[in-house]
């Protein structure tokens, strides 16, 4: 885990939530009381974000967290996944920031896991996109891998993706690919987004590393994948959900990418309960 990124996220979030100035807790507790508290999954889901959760309380200081499951395990409803032990005031004040992160990451891992599950027995993997929450991309792309998914490019600088507007600007797919390859011949892969069989043919000719079939119907995708063969990696994109994903099973494609994994997260319901004081 990249703690230079994570710590910044957590510290900013702790400031945002006024965690060190919790007027309720600080009025009622004297600061020395100790307690334990359980972390409970209130619904089924994949556990994701243990290190981040721990780091929240490392930064808060004086609370130890123990998890009973591995990162990425599927957890059933009402399971106690872990326990906090330490200063009661820190547990109460840090609860919301820690859970906000864990719930979101577990939500992303869970939907990725479910979609991948449906594709079991095929060579197709679920991939993410750049439709992530601003400034949480690092955590969200990580959560996708924990759910068994694959990371598409991180941002605009680490891979080239040629879309319709780029093709239009360059004059042709060939021209666009050549322009990018001329400037970045070495370290970067080039993907071309295609909306028709004709475009797929041109992308193959241009030696694109990856070809994306964008919103094509089943028949078109069948033809396209036949043409591509091993000449490029194949990505299919579109509005993918648990129902639709099944129909891709017998296509020779490599990746199904979906923005909703990260732009429309459904947080897993996780809470901290059973706070018990001790000396």
| Residue owning tokens 């891998």 | 145
Tokens of 234: 């194949």
Does 173 bind a copy of itself (CB under 8 A)? Our answer is no
Provide the CB-side half-sphere exposure for 46 (13 A, CA).
25
Catalytic annotation on 174?
Answer: no
58/68 Cα distance (integer angstroms): 18
Does position 102 interact with a copy of itself (CB under 8 A)? The reply is no
Q: Phi/psi class of residue 37: alpha, beta or left (left: φ > 0; alpha: ψ in -120 to 50)?
A: beta
**Residue 51 tokens, joined:** 């290190």
Q: If you ran DSSP here, which 8-state letter would residue 260 be given?
A: H
Residues 187-226: x where in contact with a copy of itself by CB under 8 A, - otherwise, as a string: xxx--------------------x----------------
CB of 82 or CB of 191, closer to a copy of itself:
191
Indicate whether 133 belongs to the interface with a copy of itself (CB under 8 A): yes
Token duo for residue 58: 């490392």
Interface pick for a copy of itself out of 22, 116, 208, 224 (rule CB under 8 A): 22
From the list 96, 174, 207, 244, which residue makes contact with a copy of itself (rule: CB under 8 A)? Answer: 96
Residues 47-76 that bind a copy of itself (CB under 8 A): none
Instruction: Supply the minimum distance, in Å, between the C-beta of residue 160 and a copy of itself.
Output: 4
85, 117, 131, 207: the active-site residue: 131
Provide the 3-class DSSP secondary structure of residue 250: coil
In the bound state with a copy of itself, the residue whose beta carbon lies nearer, of 77 and 223, is 77
Is residue 131 close enough to count as binding a copy of itself by CB under 8 A?
yes
Pairing of strands 233-237, 255-257: parallel
Q: Is 121 in the site for a copy of itself (CB under 8 A)?
A: no
Identify the H or E element spanning 164. Answer: helix 164-170
Q: How far is the CB of 52 from a copy of itself (least distance, A)?
A: 10
């Amino acid at each position: 885990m990249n703690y230079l990124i994570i710590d910044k996220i957590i510290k900013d979030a702790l400031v945002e939530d006024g965690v060190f100035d919790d007027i309720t807790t600080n009025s009622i507790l004297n600061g020395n009381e100790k307690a334990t508290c359980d972390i409970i999954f209130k619904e089924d889901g994949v556990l994701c974000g243990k290190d981040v959760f721990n780091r929240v309380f490392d930064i808060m200081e004086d609370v130890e967290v123990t998890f009973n499951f591995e990162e990425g395990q599927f957890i059933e409803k009402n399971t106690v996944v872990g326990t906090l032990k330490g200063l009661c005031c820190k547990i109460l004040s840090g609860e919301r920031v820690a859970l906000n992160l864990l719930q979101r990451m577990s939500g992303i891992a869970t939907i990725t896991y479910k979609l991948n599950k449906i594709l079991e027995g095929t060579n197709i993997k679920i991939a993410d996109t750049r439709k992530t929450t601003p400034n949480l991309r690092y955590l969200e792309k990580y959560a996708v891998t924990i759910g068994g998914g694959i990371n598409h490019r991180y941002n605009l600088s680490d891979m080239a993706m040629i879309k319709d507007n780029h093709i239009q600007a360059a004059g042709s797919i060939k021209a666009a690919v050549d322009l990018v390859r001329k400037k970045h011949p070495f370290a970067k892969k080039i993907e071309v987004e295609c909306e028709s069989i004709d475009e797929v043919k041109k992308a193959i000719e241009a030696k694109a590393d990856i070809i994306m079939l964008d919103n094509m119907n089943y028949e078109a995708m069948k033809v396209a994948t036949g043409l591509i063969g091993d000449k490029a990696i194949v990505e299919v994109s579109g509005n993918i959900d648990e129902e639709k994903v099944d129909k891709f099973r017998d296509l020779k494609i490599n990746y199904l990418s979906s923005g909703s994994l990260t732009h429309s997260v459904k947080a897993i319901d996780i809470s901290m309960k059973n706070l018990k004081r001790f000396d």
